[in-house]
Amino acid sequence: MQTGFLLLVLTLLSSADVGQCVSSCTAAPSQWCSSVASAIQCGVLKQCLEANFTRSHYHQDDRSVQLELYYESLCPGCRGFLTQMLFPTWTMLQDVLNVTLVPYGNAKESFDGKKYVFTCQHGEEECLGNMIETCLLTLAGSSAFQVIYCMESSTDVIKSAEACLNLYQPTLKWASVVSCVDGDMGNKLMHLNALKTGALKPAHHYVPWVTINGEHTDVLQNEAMNALLPLVCSLYQGPKPDACGSSQRKPYRSYCHND
């Protein structure tokens, strides 16, 4: 673990603009990736994000089921799966189900010499929705999924974003999300979504596209779309949560008798 950390610090030192860091960075190198703000101040946001992207390819050392959803913010099928199947299942099984959301889907990217430019399947509004949700995943912490669920279950995904944020993560200012969406941070975060989507094996042919424990098959996709909760329960190798209807559960013997 420490070897990997030292390699990361050495990589940051070698690839960062040292002159810029000396003039604007007040954090020690070991703290450069401790927060998004520190990474920006020290000029190493891209390197920190790429380091996290690399680590995300490895499963946590536990028995949790790892599910990744590749989707688009305005895709009707994606919205239906996220709000009607994935979020309810995660709510009941969040102790054993780890969900990673990747808002990008069938978008395309190009580079204009200064920043990445994105074209989305359902137009500019979808690109904005993807960007808002990408920034939320970085800034809103453990509340991000709830905020995104609120957005995706609303009539208007974009217009509901600020209200959903105020409801589920009131300590995060909407202005901070807008700054991410309009700035360099959001652009680089979306580029990483593009890289992650482009690295899928097999390549995705549609969205929503689901991988479970790093694997995608037609069988897993169909089971996830139709009966995600029993699928997760069957894959989890630890003691089954109550929501799985464990066969080890004690018989229920409580009645309300008629007087």
| pLDDT at position 123 over 60 | yes
Q: Tell whether the model's pLDDT for residue 35 goes beyond 70.
A: no
Nearest to 131 by CA among 171, 181, 95, 90: 181
| Residue 19 pLDDT class (50, 70, 90 cuts) | very low
Gap between the Cα atoms of 132 and 87, Å rounded: 18
Here the tokens at position 32 are: 């450069």
The amino acid at residue 235 is L
At 109 the three-state DSSP class reads strand
123 dihedral zone (left: phi>0; alpha: psi -120 to 50; beta) = left
pLDDT band at 259 (very low <50, low <70, confident <90, very high): low
For residue 2, is pLDDT > 60? Answer: no
Mean pLDDT of 77-98: 97
Bridge partners of 215, per DSSP, are 212
> What's the pLDDT tens digit per position in 187-229?
999 999 999 999 999 999 999 999 999 999 999 999 999 999 9
Instruction: Sort strands 108-111 and 65-71 into parallel, antiparallel or unpaired.
Output: unpaired
